[in-house]
Amino acid sequence: NAGVTQTPKFQVLKTGQSMTLQCAQDMNHEYMSWYRQDPGMGLRLIHYSVGAGITDQGEVPNGYNVSRSTTEDFPLRLLSAAPSQTSVYFCASSYVGERGTGELFFGEGSRLTVL
Amino acid sequence: LAKTTQPISMDSYEGQEVNITCSHNNIATNDYITWYQQFPSQGPRFIIQGYKTKVTNEVASLFIPADRKSSTLSLPRVSLSDTAVYYCLVGEDGGFKTIFGAGTRLFVKA
């Protein structure tokens, strides 16, 4: 099992460019989520999904779009990159329990720099 | 909102027991309490999850009082490799809005 796979691991963008961070999981998890982590800070939830076709906003959704067309994939799109979006992005997945998520499995992260 | 509050940092010595307490005054009736560990340049890793009373696994114990407004992660006999950031997480929106908070930076000294 690969677990949660994120691509690319590193990316440099210019202000105004768009790009997609890919996230795939092979554990058949219903729940997937995206976080950003700025230096020295905790993780902040961007968007999450509890199943194919269902997405919802987290704490910091502005400037990001997501879609969930399959159980396996949950791409994160930056519409028009800004320097404030320079961060490390983590994707996670989990099964759905009776009280929410179970153990979250994280990818290795994608380090994004916006110039 | 089920916001969590933890100490910013803690120091310990190898071999000691470490207890990290998290406050979550507005926890919803059905929410789990989950703890994660994060090393630099890595994604968080699950430690333990509980709903009430006490939960124990091979690496930690989680103590949750009856009112569930706080929880305490207990790490027995820490080693240098336990130096990391520890996050307490309480899910919102039916347990799916996974808000991490700032975490507690644990530094274990020899």
pLDDT in tens, B9-65: 999 999 999 999 999 988 888 888 999 999 999 999 999 999 988 999 999 999 999
The pLDDT score that the predictor gives to residue B2 is 52
Put simply, whether A108 touches B (Cβ < 8 Å) is yes
The pLDDT score that the predictor gives to residue B87 is 96
Average pLDDT over residues B4-11: 95
Chain B residues close to A103, C-beta within 8 Å: 34, 46, 49
User: Which pair of tokens denotes residue A66?
Assistant: 């997501």
Note the Cα A22 to chain centre separation in Å.
Answer: 8
Q: Which of residues 79-98 of B touch A (CB under 8 A)?
A: 85, 87, 91, 93-98
Least CB-CB distance to A99: which of B32, B99, B100?
Answer: B32
Q: Is the pLDDT of residue A89 over 60?
A: yes
| Cβ count near B65 (within 10 Å) | 11
Q: How far apart are CA A35 and CA A109, in angstroms?
A: 9
Least CB-CB distance to A45: which of B30, B34, B98?
Answer: B98
Put simply, whether A19 touches B (Cβ < 8 Å) is no
Q: How far apart are CA A64 and CA A49, in angstroms?
A: 14
Coil, strand or helix at A10: strand
Q: Is the pLDDT of residue A34 over 90?
A: yes
The pLDDT score that the predictor gives to residue A100 is 81
Chain A residues close to B95, C-beta within 8 Å: 97, 99-101
Top residue of A32, A104, A105 to mutate, by most chain B CBs within 10 Å, is: A104
Bridge partners (DSSP) of residue B58 are none
Pairs of residues, one from chain A and one from chain B, whose beta carbons lie less than 8 Å apart: 75
Instruction: Give the pLDDT band (50/70/90) at residue A20.
Output: very high
Mean pLDDT of chain A: 95
Q: Is the pLDDT of residue B99 over 90?
A: no
Residue B20 half-sphere exposure, CB side, CA atoms within 13 Å? 32
Q: Is the pLDDT of residue A81 over 80?
A: yes
Nearest CA in chain B to A89: B43
Bridge partners (DSSP) of residue A101 are A96
Put simply, whether B63 touches A (Cβ < 8 Å) is no
The pLDDT score that the predictor gives to residue A1 is 66
Q: Is the pLDDT of residue B95 over 90?
A: no
Q: Please name which of B51, B63, B44, B58 lies closest in space to residue B104, comparing C-alpha atoms.
A: B44
Coil, strand or helix at B81: helix
Average pLDDT over residues A81-95: 97
